[in-house]
Amino acid sequence: MNTVTVSASRRYDILIERGLLRRAGELVRGVTNAGTVMLVSDDSVWPLYGETVQKSLVDAGFSVCRFAFPHGESSKCAKTYLALLDALCENRLTRADAVVALGGGVVGDLTGFAASTYLRGIGFIQIPTTLLAMVDSSVGGKTAIDLPAGKNLAGTFYQPWLVLCDPDCLDSLPDEIFRDGCAEVIKYAVLGNAPFFDELKNTPPRTHLEHIIETCVRMKRDIVAQDEFDRGQRQLLNLGHTFGHGIEACSSFAVSHGSAVAIGMAMIVRSAAQLGLCTAGTRDAVLTLLRQYGLPGDCAYPVEQMLGTILHDKKASGGTRGRQSRTEGASVPTAVGSCEIRKTPASEISDWLRAGGAK
């Protein structure tokens, strides 16, 4: 078993090994004395893994109640969040109890937000079942729901007590969802690991999943240890997300998160090359790897539409007297394996969007 320990406001382990789902109960019991756990999942994951995890939890002595909701980004909303809080109340969970998130990024984000706010905080365990969630969203403590005005606008920093990554779950992933996770994997290679970038070029990802997961979470662990609350170095992890969140919003979330991040990475590396911040060789290497993994790279939305969504994103900062006084923090590639954080005035973001390929 590979173990990565995160030292943040709460210290916890990320365990990576095939077959962990069948051992979930004993491993969760190792971090909590809860009498009751709420097992939260969605209607696509529960039929695959819900009964296995529930049985493991019951065998470990937990009383288990369950909450499942329709899969997809549209469920990461206030209505589902409030329904989950109601379920926690109805089942009389106390501060001594815990919630277990079984699913992808939507399940983890929503469950974590509920765990952090119910009774001002109860136990929270992540069991991610997608590549994207294993390498990124389950680690680091960001929880959130979407609001009508934008993605992840209501949320908290709330570290889990344990993360269990079972690569066996990835065997059942449809190719398009697996590719979504590959976008986040490529992000890590571009922002800070050139040898890993070369590995991704030369080795099919499904042949070394445990290594990929461990490499990504170790990188994220190190960044979170320096900047848990996203005020500086952690913004490097926004590579592809500044424009990506705009693409998701413009598409009304018809474009998946991983595809949007891939397009966002392609846009920012094109912009960086055009503005002289990286070489054409860096641009071409990143675009080639994205294409190799079957990921999209072109933005279908006009500059003004993208600009409106980006300036309402949680990563924007600055003035309140109009959007032109605001700045946007972006993670910008300077070479393969190297990025820098650039604060860009709102008045210049449209130039970056055009350079990146927005219409």
Burial class (CB in 10 A: 0-12, 13-18, 19+), 317: exposed
Q: How far apart are CA 161 and CA 123, in angstroms?
A: 7
For residue 338, the tally of other CB atoms under 10 A from its CB is 16
> Confidence class of residue 36 from pLDDT cuts 50, 70 and 90?
very high
Q: What percent of the chain has pLDDT over 90?
A: 88
Structural contact between residues 71 and 36, judged by C-beta atoms closer than 8 angstroms: no
Question: How big is the CA angle at 80 (ends 76 and 83), to the nearest 5 degrees?
Answer: 160
Residue pLDDT, tens place only, 165-187: 999 999 989 999 999 999 999 99
Task: Looking at the structure, tell me whether residues 72 and 151 fall in a common domain.
Answer: yes
Structural contact between residues 92 and 65, judged by C-beta atoms closer than 8 angstroms: no
Task: Looking at the structure, tell me whether residues 238 and 149 fall in a common domain.
Answer: no
Task: Looking at the structure, tell me whether residues 127 and 198 fall in a common domain.
Answer: no
The domain that holds 168 is classified in CATH as 3.40.50.1970
Task: Looking at the structure, tell me whether residues 152 and 301 fall in a common domain.
Answer: no
Structural contact between residues 53 and 21, judged by C-beta atoms closer than 8 angstroms: yes
Task: Looking at the structure, tell me whether residues 17 and 156 fall in a common domain.
Answer: yes
Amino acid present at 63: S
Residue 292 has pLDDT above 60, yes or no: yes
> Confidence class of residue 94 from pLDDT cuts 50, 70 and 90?
very high
Helices (H), the chain: 24-29, 51-59, 78-90, 105-117, 131-132, 175-192, 194-202, 209-226, 241-250, 257-274, 280-292, 303-310, 346-356
Task: Looking at the structure, tell me whether residues 258 and 167 fall in a common domain.
Answer: no
Residue 109 has pLDDT above 70, yes or no: yes
Q: How far apart are CA 16 and CA 209, in angstroms?
A: 10
154: Cβ contacts below 8 Å, ≥ 6 apart: 78, 113, 144, 145, 146, 147
Of 53-62, 254-263, 323-332, the least confident? 323-332
Q: How far apart are CA 132 and CA 105, in angstroms?
A: 7
Task: Looking at the structure, tell me whether residues 186 and 138 fall in a common domain.
Answer: no
Task: Looking at the structure, tell me whether residues 157 and 259 fall in a common domain.
Answer: no
pLDDT recorded at residue 320: 47
What is the chain's mean pLDDT, rounded?
94
Task: Looking at the structure, tell me whether residues 123 and 198 fall in a common domain.
Answer: no
For residue 233, the tally of other CB atoms under 10 A from its CB is 14
Task: Looking at the structure, tell me whether residues 74 and 114 fall in a common domain.
Answer: yes
Q: How far apart are CA 175 and CA 218, in angstroms?
A: 25
pLDDT recorded at residue 317: 53
Task: Looking at the structure, tell me whether residues 219 and 133 fall in a common domain.
Answer: no
Rounded mean pLDDT, 68-80: 97
Q: How far apart are CA 91 and CA 77, in angstroms?
A: 21
Burial class (CB in 10 A: 0-12, 13-18, 19+), 221: middle
By residue range, what is the domain housing residue 85? 2-172
Residue pLDDT, tens place only, 309-331: 888 765 555 554 444 545 567 89
Starting at the earlier edge strand, list the strands of the sheet with 338-345.
316-318, 326-335, 338-345
Of 86-95, 133-142, 310-319, 344-353, the least confident? 310-319
Rounded mean pLDDT, 126-142: 97
Instruction: Give me the residue label for tokens 């979930």.
Output: 24
Q: How far apart are CA 179 and CA 169, in angstroms?
A: 15
Q: How far apart are CA 352 and CA 175, in angstroms?
A: 31
Number of domains in the chain: 2
The domain that holds 274 is classified in CATH as 1.20.1090.10
What global pTM score does this model have? 0.93
pLDDT recorded at residue 313: 63
